[in-house]
């Protein structure tokens, strides 16, 4: 009982602003992948207009990733120095402008279109390099360890949901209004995304809607709530080559990097050549192919969320962090190898089922960003995310080109599917043999200073 005349304070309201934050990460990442998918869905029309053979078109598809990979370490350093919100917002603005300019390239003389688009894709790739390191950094700040797998899986599932959301739209726009219209679409909605980003995303202690109880819950559970300094404070440490060297000396991280390269090989098959595969190898129209892409992509999106939920559930039930993260990765990669069976059927329905199953498995196993949030040294979360994404997205360069050569040499996609399935098996090897125990690294004093 309370003393007479003494009023008890009302119970403190607990907010859940971290769910709004992960929703924004998911949305922004969908638009980032949508920008990449636009070129793939419009690819058949562009190949005809520009007379591109598979190898040359493969280079055009890979143009984004050349600069994207090169930008990973600098973007990781910029995120650690200037904070996630500011760097990420500039990224959205820059890639939105590039999308508009790619649409305008359609009015250039045909001889200049390929070069202009390739250069703009390079710039767009550089602009988008902070997106996923920024996602990993924000999740590490906003979510306790036991919720991090699900949160990372949600934003990572954007790579699949982007196909669900945008491929049918892009297929319809390309068929009705030409390939340029897909890039105008991305440009317009990119500015809407930019406005929402600056209104809704803040650092954990600075968010105007968050309650002290939620901050305490995040921090008590292992969330790095103070990873970003407040505006006006002295910047945190940025890119240091001693930090890079120390990260590369860790066997666990090297195994994670190699595994991500292999897993991202599957990603880039699905977001670059898969729509072309449906049109050219399975003889679908551009419009039908755009809609057909959505089913496997939806399965990948569901698999991505379930993989993170499964991993967090294993962790809450008392399993080790190593077991909880590795099991979904291994199971998912095994399931993704079922795509090879597409080489032995001519029935479109069976092909779609097998690709949906493979895409679902790829989603379940895509826990790399969760593992990075679990293992990154607190001082270099952005840098480690950038290094991780550098290795992973090197597959964005190699995959479109290798598949282009395979198709040109064999006249078939069969070898391409085998190549992608072998990459999934290599991801399993890396996590089983190389990675070892999954744990957070502690830096040596000279690196963290």
What is the CATH number for 376?
A: 1.20.1250.20
DSSP assignment letter at 435: I
pLDDT tens per residue across span 251-301: 899 999 999 999 999 988 887 788 778 877 777 665 565 667 777 878 887
- Residue 170 pLDDT more than 70? yes
Give the Cα separation of 38 and 36 in Å (integer): 5
| Res 290: pLDDT | 60
Residue 5 lies in a domain: no
Contact 237, 379 (CB under 8 A): yes
Residue with tokens 């994404």: 389
Tokens of 402: 């290798």
pLDDT tens per residue across span 115-161: 888 888 889 888 998 888 888 888 888 888 778 777 877 887 787 77
pLDDT tens per residue across span 399-420: 888 888 898 888 888 888 999 9
Show the domain range for 370: 17-448
pLDDT tens per residue across span 94-114: 989 998 898 887 777 777 877
Residue with tokens 């590369």: 248
Give the Cα separation of 345 and 422 in Å (integer): 20
Overall domain count for the chain:
1
More confident residue, 370 or 77: 370
CA distances from 316 to 140, 265, 324, 372 (A): 18, 31, 9, 19
Rounded to an integer, the average pLDDT of 175-181 is: 79
- Residue 185 pLDDT more than 80? yes
pLDDT tens per residue across span 13-53: 777 788 888 899 999 998 888 887 787 777 667 777 777 67
Among 79-83, 342-346, 360-364, the minimum mean pLDDT is found in 79-83
| Res 187: pLDDT | 86
Residue 349 lies in a domain: yes
Give the Cα separation of 370 and 157 in Å (integer): 12
Contact 303, 433 (CB under 8 A): no
- Residue 92 pLDDT more than 90? yes
| Res 372: pLDDT | 85
Residue 12 lies in a domain: no
| CA contacts within 13 A on the Cβ side of 6 | 5
Burial state string for 411-443 with b = 16 or more CB within 10 A and e = fewer than 16? eebbbbbeebbebbebbbebbeebbeebeeeeb
pLDDT tens per residue across span 322-357: 899 999 999 999 999 999 998 898 888 888 899 899
CA-only gyration radius of the chain, Å: 22
Residue 2 lies in a domain: no
- Residues 6 or more apart from 11 whose CB is under 8 A from it? none
More confident residue, 56 or 327: 327
Residue 208: count of CB within 10 angstroms of its CB:
6
Give the Cα separation of 193 and 203 in Å (integer): 18
């Amino acid at each position: 009982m309370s003393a007479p005349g003494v009023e008890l304070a009302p119970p403190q309201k607990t907010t859940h602003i971290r769910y709004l934050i992960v929703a924004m990460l998911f949305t922004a990442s969908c638009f980032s992948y949508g920008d990449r998918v636009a070129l793939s869905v419009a690819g058949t029309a562009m190949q005809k207009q520009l007379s591109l053979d598979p190898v040359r078109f493969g280079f055009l598809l890979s143009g984004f990733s050349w600069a994207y990979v090169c930008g990973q370490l600098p973007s990781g350093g910029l995120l650690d120095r200037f904070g996630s919100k500011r760097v990420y917002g500039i990224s959205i603005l820059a890639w939105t402008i590039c999308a508009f300019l790619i649409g305008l390239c359609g009015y250039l003389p045909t001889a200049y279109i390929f070069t202009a688009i390739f250069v703009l894709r390079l710039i767009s790739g550089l602009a988008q390099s902070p997106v996923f390191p920024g996602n990993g950094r924000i999740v590490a700040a906003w979510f306790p360890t036991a919720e991090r797998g699900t949160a990372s899986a949600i934003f990572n599932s954007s790579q699949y949901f982007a196909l669900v959301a945008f491929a049918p739209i892009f297929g319809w726009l390309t068929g009705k209004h030409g390939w340029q219209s897909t890039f105008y679409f991305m440009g317009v909605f990119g500015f809407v995304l930019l406005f929402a980003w600056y209104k809704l995303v803040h650092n954990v202690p600075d968010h105007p809607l968050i309650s002290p109880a939620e901050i305490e819950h995040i921090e008590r559970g292992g969330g790095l709530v103070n990873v970003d300094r407040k505006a006006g404070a002295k910047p945190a440490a940025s890119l240091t080559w001693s930090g890079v060297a120390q990260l590369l000396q860790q066997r666990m991280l090297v195994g994670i990097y190699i595994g991500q390269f292999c897993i991202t090989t599957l990603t880039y098959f699905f977001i670059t050549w898969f729509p072309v595969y449906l049109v050219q190898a399975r003889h679908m129209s551009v419009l039908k192919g755009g809609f057909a892409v959505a089913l496997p992509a939806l399965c990948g999106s569901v698999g991505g969320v379930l993989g993170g939920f499964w991993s967090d559930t294993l962790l809450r039930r008392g399993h080790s962090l190593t077991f909880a993260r590795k099991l979904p990765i291994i199971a998912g990669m095994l399931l993704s190898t079922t795509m090879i069976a597409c080489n032995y059927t001519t029935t479109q329905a069976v092909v779609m089922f097998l690709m949906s199953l493979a895409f679902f498995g790829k989603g379940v196993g895509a826990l790399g960003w969760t593992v990075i949030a679990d293992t990154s040294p607190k001082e270099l979360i952005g840098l480690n995310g950038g290094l991780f994404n550098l290795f992973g997205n090197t597959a964005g360069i190699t995959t479109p080109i290798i598949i282009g050569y395979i198709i040109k040499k064999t006249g078939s996609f069969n070898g391409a599917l085998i190549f992608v399935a072998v990459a999934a098996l290599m991801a399993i090897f890396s996590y089983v043999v190389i990675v070892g125990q999954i744990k957070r690294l502690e830096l040596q004093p000279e690196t963290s200073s």
